[in-house]
Amino acid sequence: MSFKKTAISLAIIAALSGMTACGSGSSNDNNDDNNNNDNTDTDSLTLTNDNIYKLASGFPGTHIGNGDAADGNAANDEKFTLNIEPGTLIIGGEKEGLIVTRGSVINAKGSKDDPIVMTSEKQIDTWLAGGDGTSARGEWAGFALMGYARTNECGTPCDVEAEGNIGAYGGSNDADSSGTVEYVVIRHAGNDLDGQGNELNGFTLFGVGSGTSLGYIQVHKGLDDGIEHFGSSDFMHHIVLTDNRDDSFDWGQGYTGGAQFLVVKQAADDADRAIEADNDKGNPNATPISMPILANMTLIGLPTGDASADGILLRRGTGAKIYNSIITGFADACIDIDETATMDRAYTNGAYTGELMIANSFVDCQTDFESGDQDLNGDNIKDTFADVGRKMVADWFAESGSNNNATATADLNGYGLPQGAFASSVQGLTFTAPDSRFVNTNYAGAFDPTATSPNWTEGWTVGLNGNTTVWEPANGGTLAGNTPVADKTCPAGTTWVGEKTLKDGNKMDVCQLKRRY
């Protein structure tokens, strides 16, 4: 049945309309007001799922809050909360991103049935016009959180300039919260923002603290990295990274967070590493030292892929504690460790310290272990890493933790579930949660081969289970399964800029976000 926006929606709109909007009290501001830079409106905005939302036009898109100002003073933040309902669609054009700054929060709470989708307007328009949903990389800038957690590039005060010149991040509060992101699918992102190679990734975390809740997130077909951490202490779980052009999961600047249940499936056409891990390029001993905890990962590469593609590259002094993982199929090596400063995290005077270790894990690549043979310091001289060498990496794998296996053939189904004899091999490997963020498991990889329904990616992701759906109107939230209707109403603080005709012939309003909230 059709409806004129539900009573809940009208109540929200009425409540928001009673507050002062930026430059206007009307929900139908003109585009100039929509893109201005003042921050005089209310302290929250809810994106209801009975509309489609377009990011502010042009570089850098939409900022939430003003914590990106390089003044190092949290007291000057004008904090803002962005709420996003399940099933909401957010679209952007080239050089347009969604950036949540220090002191502000996002509550993007999708669901398995109604994931929040962030993608390019180009993909949506082509799909709605009858296309099959395929689209290119880098069609919009991407999604970023900027917090007050530590990074080893902090000065006094801590104002580190973010990639893409989108503002400052960092601080001293590792427990900082940027809100909640769950059941969110980020597609076709990573545009070069300024024409100088300054790219956002699909999902970029700049100094994001452990108070942030992150789970059930997919980054699909990004131009740059899938997820990259600059510093940060956040923990994330149930992460899917598919068909990204550069690295899938990247960290540096003292990343001390963690992840559990991570799936990487490398692109067939163009891809780099599943994990690229640094501490600091200029100073591998800069503190805090990158030392995340990673458990239950399934990293799937292509033997015919990029010749430099590794499953895991550990370099520039990073530490890491890796448990119960499967790394298979990468053209260069499953694991590559570069620089003595990195191996020094593993042992001191021949004794393993545990700062760089792996346990209960499987490797199965044409070359399992590699080291060096690249310009690590930008001096145009390749570091052959002769004092570590391939054998030392192999020895580290064999000795740094228990039950590691470099002989089994990794037999996985289409989404990464162990099958056949391999399913038995990965069982009985106990991972004991080091803290409350993690859960105990007794198998390697991201999927439990003994579970009745092991595939937690099914129903909300793309590219793994034959799902090619770009997006569809929500069953929950304000829309609640009702037929969408375009009636030129948008939440206060957004601007009605048109409508889009859906596949079934129904129409939805397009509401444009401001430059800054």
How does pLDDT run across 322-332, given as a tens digit for each residue?
Answer: 999 999 999 99
Please tell me the predicted confidence (pLDDT) of residue 225.
Answer: 95
* 396 found inside a domain: no
Identity of the residue numbered 491:
P
pTM: 0.90
Domain count, the chain: 1
| Nearest alpha-carbon partner for 48 in 517, 511, 450, 515 | 511
- Structural domain contains residue 16: yes
Determine which helix (DSSP H) or strand (DSSP E) holds 12, and give its type and residue range. helix 7-17
Question: Is a pLDDT exceeding 50 seen at residue 30?
Answer: no
Residue 10: φ, ψ to 5°: -65, -35
Residue 10 lies in a domain: yes
d(CA 37, CA 344): 48
Residues 6 or more apart whose CB falls under 8 angstroms from that of 379 comprise none
Q: Is residue 357 part of a domain?
A: no
Condensed to tens digits (0 to 9), the pLDDT of residues 234-289 reads: 999 999 999 999 999 999 999 999 999 999 999 888 889 999 999 999 999 999 99
Q: What is the model's pLDDT at position 389?
A: 62
Determine the average pLDDT of the residues in 378-405.
72
Quote the pLDDT of residue 82. Answer: 98
The residue range of the domain holding 34 is: 1-50+478-517
Rounded to an integer, the average pLDDT of 84-103 is 97
Residue 24 lies in a domain: yes
The confidence score (pLDDT) of residue 492 equals 94
Asked if residue 508 is part of any domain, the answer here is yes
Question: Domain for residue 136, yes or no?
Answer: no
pLDDT value at residue 42: 60
Q: pLDDT-derived band of residue 222, with 50, 70 and 90 as boundaries? A: very high
Task: Assess if residue 484 is contained within a domain.
Answer: yes
- Element of type H or E holding 168: strand 168-169
Question: Is 506 in a helix, a strand, or coil?
Answer: coil
